[in-house]
């Protein structure tokens, strides 16, 4: 389990921008899943990064929800870089990963950071999405 936590931390560090300021972070077992409401105050941009580590290939579904708007994303376990989602400041949002049933062992690690506007990727709001 310790090795999995180290790999997850490296995956999160791999996507960390220079302007980052840590707001919140955590780790959960796959069997427990993740359901966390996160606060995003003001107008500054945030980045939610998530990594999953398992002994074998596995994909999770991350659900991001703010108000009535929901988006779903696949997160592949074992990637060297965490999946990263841009979230604008404002009302709280919920990040959820359904608990994994069966004998799948592993961990989910996540971070919520504020970032500089220059570090926001293609879409400034990965919950509502952006039209091309």
Contact 21, 93 (CB under 8 A): no
pLDDT one-digit tens code per residue, 12-40:
666 666 666 778 889 999 889 999 999 99
- What are the domain boundaries of the chain? 2-119
10 SS3 class: helix
Contact 43, 120 (CB under 8 A): no
3 SS3 class: helix
pLDDT one-digit tens code per residue, 83-112:
999 999 999 999 999 988 777 788 999 999
Q: What is the pLDDT of residue 64?
A: 97
**Domain covering 2-119 assigned CATH 3.30.70.600 in the classification:** no
Contact 25, 111 (CB under 8 A): yes
pLDDT one-digit tens code per residue, 23-82:
888 999 988 999 999 999 888 899 999 999 988 888 999 999 999 999 999 999 988 889
pLDDT: which is higher, 63 or 116? 63
Residue 131: how many other CB atoms lie within 10 Å: 4
């Amino acid at each position: 389990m310790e090795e999995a936590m180290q790999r997850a931390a490296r995956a999160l560090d791999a996507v960390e921008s220079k302007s980052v300021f840590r707001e919140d972070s955590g780790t959960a077992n796959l069997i427990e899943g993740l359901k966390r409401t996160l606060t995003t105050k003001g107008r500054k941009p945030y980045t939610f990064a998530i990594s999953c580590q398992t002994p074998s290939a596995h994909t999770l579904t991350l659900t991001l929800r703010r108000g009535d708007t929901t988006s779903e994303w696949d997160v592949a376990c074992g990637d060297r870089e965490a999946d990263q989602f841009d979230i604008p400041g404002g009302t709280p949002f919920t990040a959820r990963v359904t608990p994994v049933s069966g004998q799948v062992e592993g961990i989910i690690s996540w971070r919520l950071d504020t970032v500089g506007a220059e570090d926001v990727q293609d879409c400034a709001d990965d919950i509502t999405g952006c039209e091309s």
